[in-house]
Amino acid sequence: MANKPITERIGNRKEKEIFELIRQGGTVSKIELLEKSGLTVSTLTRLLDELCEQELIAESGYGPSTGGRRPVLYQVRADYGCALGVDISRTLTRLVLTDMHLNVLDSRTWEMTGRMTPDVLLEEIAAEAEAMLSRCEIPADRVLGMGIGAVGPVDRREGVILNPRYFPAPGWQEVPVRALLERRLDLPVLLDNGANTALLAESWSRQKRSFRHMLYVHIGVGLRSSMLSEGELIYGAVDMEGSIGQMIIQTDGISPRSQEGNFGALESYASIYAIERETRARLKQGRHSTLSGIGDPDAVTFREIVQALAAGDPLVVEVITQAAVYFGIGLANLLNMMHPERVVLGGPLIAASDLFFYTATQTAIKKTYYYPTYQVLFSKGSFGEEALAIGAAGLVIRQLSFH
């Protein structure tokens, strides 16, 4: 699978800029490109012709007339190439194969059990990636590379998963995933934390309105967040994906799950772990619930809790509502500091429950300082649970525009 470096596939800096404008816009007219690029008609025409000759873009019809000739429309060719995207999370790992428009061509998931050590999982990912490319009959020169969105903290520059918590299998410390998979697949591999890749996917989803400032929060076993401003992901001095979970909302509150955590931290009140703990505690108190039939309260898992919620179990509704209120308080803190235009909520808790989403967002609005002058749009992710993996593929595709 020998491959040309992604950043060298488009050799000219101006071509990269035009390609990126078209990629961001989805379908863009020549008139829009003239306005945004500041180029002359002759220079823009030449660059568009060169990109078309390289099969990176294609004409896609004509836009509406504004009085003269209808403008030619351009879009990135979906079949120019493909990218592999991987989501390595605590509960499952997902591999997707996408085209240039981030349409999923093939996918596979693995449950993260106690046997899923790095060696086992990475070999299965590599073997399945090769199988996907074979099934889809994609030639080696059309494979741009693989992106990985993983539970943080990660060192994205070195391509290493550092010391994530709560993996079911041992060995997930200081794992050089980029080097291991590059060696195994002979493909470029990029790594970032999963919240960033999910936000990248959401920022690429075609919306009638574009957003310059976006916040993404993933609510699952832990809490993970990322922020995008002026179209760029915000990075701190260290990987900050899981920092939202350690936001203190009650100084004398619940003990942290791990020794390094804070007392009264948000993840102790609003996460799968917190919901399981609270549900089990109330069952031990003798509270009535359909879950009582399981017998041992400590055997109750999130899966059974979701099923009971769907059936309208009052105890579970109470627990989920309480967790959502706490999460809404934490979310209001983020809104008051960052003032994003759009907030995207994803993860197992959001997928499982409209109750959690609506309770949390309404709580956040009520505690937002500048509301209603400051308006924010809340939404569930456009890509659902595939967002992290699809965004990881997007990490690779956007390398085409890098200088």
Say yes or no: 377 and 278 in one domain: yes
**190 and 226 together in one domain:** no
pLDDT at 313: 96
pLDDT surpasses 90 at 235 = no
Q: Compute the distance between CA of residue 128 and CA of residue 144 in angstroms, rounded to an integer.
A: 17
Q: Is the pLDDT of residue 399 over 90?
A: yes
Q: Does position 259 have pLDDT exceeding 90, yes or no? A: no
Does residue 1 fall inside a structural domain? Answer: no
Same-domain pairing of 338 and 221: yes
> Residue 383 — very low, low, confident or very high, per pLDDT cuts 50/70/90?
confident
pLDDT for 40-51, tens place per residue? Answer: 999 999 999 999
Does residue 59 sit within a domain?
Answer: yes
Q: Where are the beta strands (DSSP E) in 48-142?
A: 57-62, 72-76, 82-88, 92-99, 104-111
In degrees and rounded to multiples of 5, residue 97 shows phi and psi of: -120, 125
Mean pLDDT to the nearest integer, 92-109: 96
Both 56 and 150 in a single domain? no
> What's the number of domains the chain is made of?
3
Q: The pTM is what?
A: 0.87
Cβ(136)–Cβ(105) below 8 Å = yes
Is 343 in the same domain as 361? yes
Residue 132 within a domain: yes
How large is the average pLDDT for residues 12-17? 92
pLDDT at 91 > cutoff 50 = yes
Question: Is residue 224 within 8 Å of residue 151, measured between CB atoms?
Answer: yes
Average pLDDT for 215-235: 87
Condensed to tens digits (0 to 9), the pLDDT of residues 157-170 reads: 999 999 888 899 99
Question: In which element (H, E) is residue 201 found?
Answer: helix 194-204
Residue 287 has φ and ψ, to the nearest 5°, of -65, 140
pLDDT (tens digit per residue) in 178-223: 999 999 999 999 999 999 999 989 888 655 456 788 999 999 888 9
Q: Please report the pLDDT score of residue 250 as a whole number.
A: 87
How large is the average pLDDT for residues 63-90? 88
Q: What is the CATH number of the domain that holds 112?
A: 3.30.420.40
**Do 236 and 359 have their domain in common?**
yes
Please tell me whether residues 186 and 103 are part of one structural domain.
yes
Average pLDDT, the chain: 90
Establish if 251 belongs to a structural domain. Answer: yes
Are 188 and 396 spatial neighbours (Cβ–Cβ below 8 Å)? yes
Say whether both 89 and 72 belong to one domain. Answer: no
